Amino acid sequence: MTGVPFALLRHAPTEWNDTGRLQGLTDTPLSRAGEEMARQWRLPVPAAGWRRMSSPLQRARRTAELLRPAMPVEIDHALREMSFGIWEGRTLKDLRAEGGERFAAAEAAGLDFQPPGGESPRTAMARLSAWTATLSEPVVAVSHKAAIRALLALATGWDMLGRPPHKLDWRAVHFFVASGDGKVAIDRLNVPFDRVDAETALAGTGP
């Protein structure tokens, strides 16, 4: 498989994740449990030695800082989460209950599903495609659920209707290859983290 390899992972959990609230561009921090979890994540080979990048949102940035092995983190706004506009802070369960057929029709738009004042998956996919076209060396990037789903759609042609073609483990690393023209291909999905021992995780240091 030719091209530039890169890896994506989702940030560790926040309190909004625990309650199912849409975060989007709302800059929520990691929960205490999320911080503890990220401290125990060691990137697998070969991503452990790759350049480190992150979304500017603090939940992603902090995850990137806590990953082992420790490495400087570069911020790239292309890696930010998809905006959910006025729906941020709400749960899908509540939105479906209140929106009824109108919300169901919005969800049925697939790649063109767009919250009021927000961003569609198609727009997020274009943003991430442009980002992959800039890669000249392997990187590992910390991003967000909707953004990573948009990149999966880019790699597979998924229209975001029905189940995704691959089930993603949000506490694992996903490897792709960028061809340089904005197209991407899947390399390996759901690669588990190596585990950092408890003493190193507590200290927040280590190789």
Query: In this predicted model, what pLDDT tens digit does every residue of 121-146 receive, in sequence order?
Result: 999 999 999 999 999 999 999 999 99
User: The CATH number of 4-203 is which of 3.90.550.10, 3.20.20.70, 3.30.70.260, 3.40.50.1240?
Assistant: 3.40.50.1240
- Confidence tier at 204 by pLDDT (50, 70, 90): low
Rg (CA), the chain: 17
Q: Which pLDDT does position 207 carry in this prediction?
A: 46
Read off the pTM: 0.92
- pLDDT, mean of residues 6-32: 98
- Confidence tier at 62 by pLDDT (50, 70, 90): very high
Q: Which pLDDT does position 202 carry in this prediction?
A: 54
Write down the mean pLDDT value for the chain.
94
- Confidence tier at 205 by pLDDT (50, 70, 90): very low
Q: Which pLDDT does position 203 carry in this prediction?
A: 55
φ, ψ (nearest 5 deg) of residue 41: -95, 120
Which range (51-65, 162-176, 184-198) has the least confidence? 184-198
The yes-or-no verdict on residue 74 having pLDDT over 60 is yes
Domain boundary assignment for the chain = 4-203
In whole angstroms, how far apart are CA 175 and each of 7, 31, 39? 4, 26, 21
